[in-house]
Homo-oligomer: A and B are copies of this chain.
Amino acid sequence: MKQPDLLSPAQLAHSLQLLRQQAPLVHCMTNDVVQTFTANVLLALQASPAMVIDPEEAAQFAGFADALLINVGTLTRDRRDAMWAAVQAAQTAGTPWTLDPVAVGALTLRTAFGQQLLSLQPAAIRGNASEILALAQQASGGRGVDSLHQADAALSAAQQLARDYHTVVAVTGEVDYVTDGVQTFAIPGGSPLMTRVVGTGCALTAVVAACTSLPGDRLQHVAAACRVMSLAGEQTARQVAGPGSFAAAFLDTLWTLEVEA
């Protein structure tokens, strides 16, 4: 397997500019804990979030949104059914959809649902190492939302998953890997402080979802989503006293982020 690539500043600048220009409407079906932060991260990047959750309305909305996010963080049976209806409608309409398999592998309802969803052709998947290993059925476990594995341990599982389902997989940790099964980007950066603010991972997946709607190279756009967040994270961490001021300053950083091409 060849070495992972690095995303060039020009690639990053191009994807970020496209994201801000296109301002995609992102239909978010996500967990209870991260709704506000997810919406604010998308808004700070000029995208437009909309949370629509009734099964009928969600199916309707998935048809005219630019992208759909499915995050199984506080799954219930009702939400599972609504998500399923939305993903089916998205698939019919050609709306790309992205999966965040929060704690898949650790809990049964979401593990079964995560497996089921793979058949509906996700445009992208973003998870930590434990979640990606579980989704690829190469391991189970995870302690809630915390990963027991390093991202590089899950790299080959991610590549296999990407090939099997013709999708882009981002496995995130100290270094993020983004792969379509053939080419892989390694994304450095970020800050340990990001793990002390709830929803940074979930918000990243929302940005990934937004980026799947952009014209051009999807793998590169998803890698750029990861790098935008890790870059904003490392810049923000240098300015703040703790996780409370981090969350606010992170949104400001996204809002003003400039990348030299």
CB distance from A198 to the nearest CB of B (A): 4
A175 within 8 A of B: no
Binary per-residue interface labels of chain A (9-48) against chain B in the complex, 1 for a CB within 8 Å, 0 otherwise: 0000000000000000101000111111101100110001
A199 within 8 A of B: yes
Nearest B residue to A77, CB-CB = B54
Binding site for B on A (CB under 8 A): 25, 27, 31-37, 39-40, 43-44, 48-54, 56-57, 60-61, 64-65, 73-78, 103, 106-110, 143-146, 195-199, 240-245, 247-256
A50 to B240, CA, bound (A): 25
Q: Taking the full assembly, how many copies of this chain does it contain?
A: 3
Which residues on the B side are within 8 Å of A43 (C-beta)? Answer: 195-198, 243
The 9 closest A-B pairs by CB, nearest first: A244-B251, A242-B252, A50-B144, A242-B255, A244-B248, A39-B198, A33-B35, A57-B107, A244-B252
Nearest B residue to A198, CB-CB = B39
Report whether A33 and B51 are in contact in the complex, using a CB–CB cutoff of 8 Å: yes
Nearest B residue to A240, CB-CB = B252
Report whether A76 and B53 are in contact in the complex, using a CB–CB cutoff of 8 Å: yes
Nearest B residue to A65, CB-CB = B144
Which residues on the B side are within 8 Å of A146 (C-beta)? Answer: 25, 48
